[in-house]
Amino acid sequence: MDNSLEKRLRNYSKAILKFGVNLQNGQKLTVNASVDHKDFVRLFVEEAYDFGASEVLVVWGDSYVQRQKLLKAPEEVITNIYNWEVEMPKSFLNAGAATISLVGSYGDLLSDVPSSRIGAYTKARQLAFKDVMELTMMNKNRWCVAGVPNPEWAQKVYNTTDVDQLWKDILYMARIDEDGYDSLIKHVENLKVRKEFLNRAHFDAIRYEGPGTELTVQLPSKHLWISGMENDVNGIPFLPNIPTEEVFTAPYKYGINGRVSSSMPLVYQGNIIDEFWLEFKDGKVADFDAKTGKNILKELIDTDEGASYIGEVALVDITSPIYKLGKIFYNTLYDENAASHFALGRAYPTCIEDFDGDVEKAGINMSLTHVDFMVGNAHMNVYGIKNGEETLIMENGLWKI
């Protein structure tokens, strides 16, 4: 590793620790990572202890081992989640730990695994880790998701297993350079301006129009737009995603009508879903189709009742460095930040002012899952609707506010 890259990687680590989870001195830290990311993880753990972490727990994963289990183990094995698998990260969270997930991409590694087995495994894990998910989605613990390259991911994007170019793009998209991450801080401030405008406007609904898309999304009466930095339950700020380009909120569960078409492939559980559309009636998916991965899309929608409703509405304009690169990254963290998107499944309760735990009263969706899919492009317009009058928010994929 050359000195220039190492310096940027250490700045990336510092940005994740200081700006991502805002790690406090003496705080515990959980890191979820692939065995393919071991070199960066070793550097990152060094930085974490130097930053003041009292203990760092690394939870390793291996997509190839997971593939063999999903292909060959009895179904009662793949749907059995041991208590210790849940209790290990949960014990750290209950002790106030922050959580960092370092994610890569393995494209269609699981394409030969029957979708029913993937669906059964996914649902079992989501049920088992429901309480863990609650701690993060309610911002009881600070968390951050950031990307780390692996050869398979580089091969999918650049047709080479050399990860150097992918590292270069990851750091560019995260706005990290040799001098630090000041560009990231400035960008988050710009997102805050858009968020504040939308919260002042307090639209009743938003309307999307574009290729294959004509959709109206009603918003809950107490909805809040969120961008970039969030606060945990103790008021400590953190940045859940690096990179981040979105301003988002939770829609009214039963108030979505019309059709929306995907603008980028969705990688879900090791499979690619592409060129798909969803039609909504009173908030629920009424019909759908996909050129690639329709069975996987069906498994996603059938995860539970809430998986057929929308939990997140996010606006991203096409000045995003991710969009500018003009590549499909086959990783939701990056592709969702290239374009406006929705998420099937669970809403973030933090998007509701004075949320009291009653999701029906708040009008938001609950589910075991939360999966983003991209819809934005250079031909999409978005309007805010207030008292029947429309305000242009985005034109041809660009902010107008």
- pLDDT tens per residue across span 55-69: 999 999 999 999 999
Inter-residue contact 313 to 207 (CB < 8 Å): no
My answer on whether 269 and 388 are in the same domain is yes
- Cis ω before 243 (30° cut-off from 0): yes
Q: How many CB atoms lie within 10 A of CB 354?
A: 7
SS3 109: coil
Helix (H) or strand (E) holding 153: helix 151-158
- pLDDT tens per residue across span 118-157: 989 999 998 999 999 888 888 899 999 999 999 999 999 9
Inter-residue contact 16 to 146 (CB < 8 Å): yes
Q: How confident is the model at residue 328 (pLDDT cuts 50, 70, 90)?
A: confident
My answer on whether 111 and 212 are in the same domain is no
State how many domains the chain has: 2
Q: Domain for residue 173, yes or no?
A: no
Average confidence (pLDDT) over 212-239? 95
Look up residue 364 and give its amino acid: I
My answer on whether 272 and 348 are in the same domain is yes
- pLDDT tens per residue across span 242-281: 999 999 999 999 999 999 999 999 988 878 899 999 999 9
Q: Domain for residue 165, yes or no?
A: no
| Model confidence at 368: pLDDT above 90 | no
In the listed set 130, 148, 166, which residue is the last one of a domain according to the structure?
148
Q: Domain for residue 164, yes or no?
A: no
Q: Domain for residue 220, yes or no?
A: yes
- What is the Cα–Cα distance from 135 to 375, expressed in whole angstroms? 29
In the block, residue with structure tokens 């203990």: 55
Q: How confident is the model at residue 336 (pLDDT cuts 50, 70, 90)?
A: confident
My answer on whether 115 and 209 are in the same domain is no
Rounded to the nearest integer, the mean pLDDT of the chain is: 94
Inter-residue contact 315 to 339 (CB < 8 Å): no
**SS3 of the chain: helix, strand, coil, percent, to 5:** 40, 30, 35
Average confidence (pLDDT) over 321-333? 90
My answer on whether 125 and 218 are in the same domain is no
In order of 48, 157, 290, the CA distances from 339 in angstroms are 32, 18, 19
In the listed set 95, 124, 148, which residue is the last one of a domain according to the structure?
148
Q: Domain for residue 175, yes or no?
A: no
My answer on whether 298 and 253 are in the same domain is yes
| Model confidence at 49: pLDDT above 90 | yes
Q: What is the pLDDT of residue 1?
A: 64
Q: What is the pLDDT of residue 271?
A: 85
My answer on whether 128 and 189 are in the same domain is no
- What is the Cα–Cα distance from 371 to 349, expressed in whole angstroms? 16
Cβ partners under 8 Å of residue 289, min gap 6: 276, 277
My answer on whether 214 and 355 are in the same domain is yes
Burial state string for 155-171 with b = 16 or more CB within 10 A and e = fewer than 16: ebbeeeeebeebbebbb
Cβ partners under 8 Å of residue 115, min gap 6: 271, 295, 296, 298, 299
- What is the Cα–Cα distance from 117 to 130, expressed in whole angstroms? 20
My answer on whether 276 and 195 are in the same domain is yes
My answer on whether 190 and 320 are in the same domain is yes
Average confidence (pLDDT) over 271-296? 96
CATH number of the domain to which 32 belongs: 3.40.1830.10
Q: Domain for residue 14, yes or no?
A: yes
Structure tokens at 148: 């780390």
Q: Identify the residue with better confidence: 384 or 327.
A: 384
Cβ partners under 8 Å of residue 278, min gap 6: 259, 260, 285, 287, 288
Q: Domain for residue 177, yes or no?
A: no
- pLDDT tens per residue across span 154-212: 999 999 998 999 999 999 999 998 889 999 999 999 999 999 999 999 999 999 999 99
In the listed set 123, 148, 173, which residue is the last one of a domain according to the structure?
148
Q: Domain for residue 295, yes or no?
A: yes
Q: How confident is the model at residue 111 (pLDDT cuts 50, 70, 90)?
A: confident
My answer on whether 137 and 186 are in the same domain is no
Inter-residue contact 62 to 127 (CB < 8 Å): no
**pTM for the structure as a whole:** 0.85
Q: How many CB atoms lie within 10 A of CB 371?
A: 23
What is the span of the domain harbouring residue 374?
182-232+239-399
My answer on whether 253 and 207 are in the same domain is yes
- What is the Cα–Cα distance from 20 to 23, expressed in whole angstroms? 8
